[in-house]
Copies of this chain bind each other. A is one copy, B any other.
Amino acid sequence: MKVSGRNQIGGRVAKVERDGLMAKVTIDVDRCTMTSVITGDAVDDLNIKEGDQVSALVKSTSVMLMK
């Protein structure tokens, strides 16, 4: 299965923080860190845990640029 989102960035889960409905997942990607806020349900469904290899998926229309 392929996804249309153009940004699929591989990394390793560094931290999973749960809080009621939501969860914040921090991912180590090369020299930087990415942060994803998803539902707790999604963390359970994908069984996301520290150390897991995951991909951060971002639609290109959600990416702003700073210069």
Binding site for B on A (CB under 8 A): 1-10, 17, 19-25, 27, 29-32, 34-39, 41-43, 45-48, 52-67
Contacts and interface: CB of A to CB of B under 8 A. Distances in A.
A67 B54 contact: yes
Given A2-B66, A4-B39, A54-B66, 19 more contacts: A3-B3, A3-B46, A4-B36, A4-B43, A5-B42, A19-B21, A20-B20, A24-B41, A35-B41, A35-B60, A35-B63, A36-B60, A38-B59, A38-B63, A39-B60, A54-B67, A56-B63, A58-B62, A59-B64
A35 B39 contact: yes
Contacts of A7: 34-35, 58
